[in-house]
């Protein structure tokens, strides 16, 4: 398929700048994959489409406060530093992006905090905006991380949510079951699940499996090739443990619904499948890029937000729901006033 096939006009006012007051009260479009029928619901109604022994697969990655603002030594120029991942605990080495990058060279020192209490030295260039920083901090690693994170802010994707970070973002840009730290963006489909809804699903007999995929900035990177077979995605770290494998494979053997909550989950589970269609345990990295046509092996239902035009996330959804059906559903969503993006509304794609 071609990149241009995923282009559509998205008016700015359709992009959600804030979440709904309650997590489970965003809107939910239900797309029935076999018939193309569309229903309009509230997110908490998702309960009505699943039964005893069905499974939801969640991504339990935890977002850390990855965006920092510092000053360059001598000039005092303001620099944005986006933490990507820690490379070496002992040496306090971090892989980061800097902006404006042209001003930041190897050997430069950056100062953070009102009192310049945190200092970092640029020791390497990695990509055009990428740098390796060494933080000059004496003290235990836990203390260092705490001090570093205290300087950071919630890493809202400014390309989508174009506003300053607010206090509520630290809670709402995080799922209620987030526990394994390492993501720089939230797995957005999971943001709709409230404690009350999780309890009601549990009472109905629905099982939960948790995998971890540390969502990175690759989710927002522009694709610069028209031929999608030539696009390479960034690698992201993932863990699928034996417990999740057991829960998912049991549901598959019982011919139950297996619902992937979000594109990160779908990519993770499709990255570790055995030849007989079962999920396998895996710990490592994935750079799997899914676009139509694609045969899915593990999940037979999917929940996802309404994504940006030309995004890899839209491509995964279109591959699962059928290109024509999903693009038509997006047309309907625009007409019906659904909210798009990270804090937007959700879509359930199901065969039921």
Quote the mean pLDDT of the chain: 94
Q: pLDDT tens digits, residue range 227-277? A: 999 998 888 999 999 999 999 999 999 999 999 999 999 999 999 999 888
CA angle 291, 211, 51 (to 5 degrees): 85
Token pair of 76 as six digits: 């005092």
Euclidean distance between CA atoms 125 and 268, whole angstroms = 29
pLDDT at 319 > cutoff 70 = yes
The secondary element (H helix, E strand) that includes residue 319 is: helix 312-321
Half-sphere exposure of residue 189, counting CA atoms within 13 Å on the CB side?
Answer: 30
Which pLDDT does position 23 carry in this prediction?
Answer: 96
- Is the CB of residue 296 less than 8 Å from the CB of residue 320? yes
Which pLDDT does position 220 carry in this prediction?
Answer: 67
Q: pLDDT tens digits, residue range 142-175? A: 999 999 999 999 999 988 999 999 999 999 999 9
Bigger pLDDT: 219 vs 62:
62
**Beta-sheet pairing, 118-125 with 130-135:** antiparallel
| C-beta neighbour count of 70 within 10 angstroms | 22
CA distances to 9, 58, 146, 151, 329 from 154, rounded to whole Å, are: 28, 21, 15, 10, 31
* Structural domains of the chain in order of their starting residue, each with its CATH number: 1-61+168-348 (3.40.1780.10), 65-151 (2.40.10.240)
CA distances to 134, 177, 227, 228, 316 from 312, rounded to whole Å, are: 32, 25, 13, 10, 6
| C-beta neighbour count of 119 within 10 angstroms | 17
Most distant CA pair in the chain, distance: 66
Which pLDDT does position 116 carry in this prediction?
Answer: 83
Euclidean distance between CA atoms 27 and 280, whole angstroms = 34
Strand partners, 303: 261, 348
Which pLDDT does position 117 carry in this prediction?
Answer: 84
């Amino acid at each position: 398929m071609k990149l241009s096939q995923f282009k559509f006009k998205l008016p700015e006012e359709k992009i959600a700048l804030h979440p709904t007051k309650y997590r489970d009260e965003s809107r939910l479009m239900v797309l029935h994959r076999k018939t193309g029928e569309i229903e309009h619901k509230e997110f908490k109604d998702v309960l009505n489409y699943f039964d005893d022994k069905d499974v939801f697969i969640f991504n339990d990655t935890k977002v850390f406060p990855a965006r920092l603002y510092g000053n360059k030594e001598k000039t005092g120029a303001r620099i944005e530093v986006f933490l990507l991942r820690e490379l070496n605990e002992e040496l306090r080495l971090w892989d980061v992006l800097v902006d404006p990058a042209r001003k930041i060279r190897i050997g430069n020192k950056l100062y953070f905090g009102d009192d310049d209490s945190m200092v970092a030295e640029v020791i390497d260039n990695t990509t055009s905006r990428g740098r390796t920083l060494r933080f000059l901090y004496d003290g235990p690693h836990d203390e260092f991380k705490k001090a570093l994170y205290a300087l950071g802010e919630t890493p809202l994707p400014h390309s989508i949510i174009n506003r300053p970070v607010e206090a509520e973002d630290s809670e709402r840009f995080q799922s209620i079951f987030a526990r394994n730290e390492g993501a720089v963006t939230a797995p957005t489909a999971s943001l709709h699940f409230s404690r009350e809804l999780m309890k009601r699903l549990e009472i109905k007999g629905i099982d939960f499996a948790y995998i971890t995929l540390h969502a990175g900035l690759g989710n927002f990177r522009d694709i610069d090739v028209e031929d999608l077979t030539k696009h390479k995605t960034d690698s992201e770290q993932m863990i699928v443990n034996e417990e999740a494998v057991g829960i998912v494979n049991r549901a598959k053997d019982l011919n139950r619904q297996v619902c992937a909550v979000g594109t990160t989950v779908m990519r993770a589970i499709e990255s570790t499948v055995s030849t007989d269609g079962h999920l396998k345990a895996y710990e490592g990295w994935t750079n799997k890029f899914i676009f139509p046509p694609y045969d899915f092996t593990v999940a037979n239902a999917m929940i996802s937000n309404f994504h940006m035009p030309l995004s890899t996330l839209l491509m995964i959804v279109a591959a699962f729901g059928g290109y024509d059906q999903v693009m038509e559903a997006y047309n309907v969503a625009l007409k019906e006033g659904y909210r798009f993006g990270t804090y937007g509304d959700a879509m359930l794609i199901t065969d039921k």
